[in-house]
Structure 1
Amino acid sequence: MGIRLVPVVLLALLVALHAQLWLGRGSLPQVAAMQQKIEAQKAANAQVRQANERLASEVHDLKEGLDMVEEKARSELGMVKQGEVYVQFTPR
């Protein structure tokens, strides 16, 4: 009886280990899902980082000179300098 018990115990341990690998906490499917989430978060972080850099550059330009202020006034508000004529051209 002792000789037959060892293979049964070893087989039970093997089944338990495989169950943990495929179904338990930290299983292969969970790890793959977490890796996908990490990649998605990295992409979102890169987009936000790029937007932050653009805004930081804009703030720097606004602090350093009036060129950016003039450009914003012209593009967003349609302002012109004294003596200038504004002509809007719409391509077909």
Structure 2
Amino acid sequence: MRADHPDQRPTNAEIVARYLSGQPIRRIAADLGVSYSYVHRRLHYSGIAIRSRGGGRGARSDGRSTTDSPAGCADRGGAAGVDGSDDDYVD
């Protein structure tokens, strides 16, 4: 559907429903024949929180979580140097 005339523009409800079902803003805009900014504004004015770019991240091939910290980070109890060694650590 191409929104050439203001009466043919999609409703906020239609845009919100598509977005909440997981469609990205660019796809919604292309499918409905309106601009990215039009869709973004309608979502904003409807009080919808905009998702961050890039989508979800899948599982890693080595089985670790994508949120695992690298070895030696302070939050994992290590105090490794820049190169990952413990040479700079004094106990």
Q: Same fold (TM over 0.5)?
A: no
TM-score (norm 1): 0.23
* Larger Cα-atom Rg: 1
The structure with the greater share of residues assigned to helix is 1
TM-score (norm 2): 0.23
Which one has more relative contact order, counting CA pairs under 8 Å at least 6 apart?
2
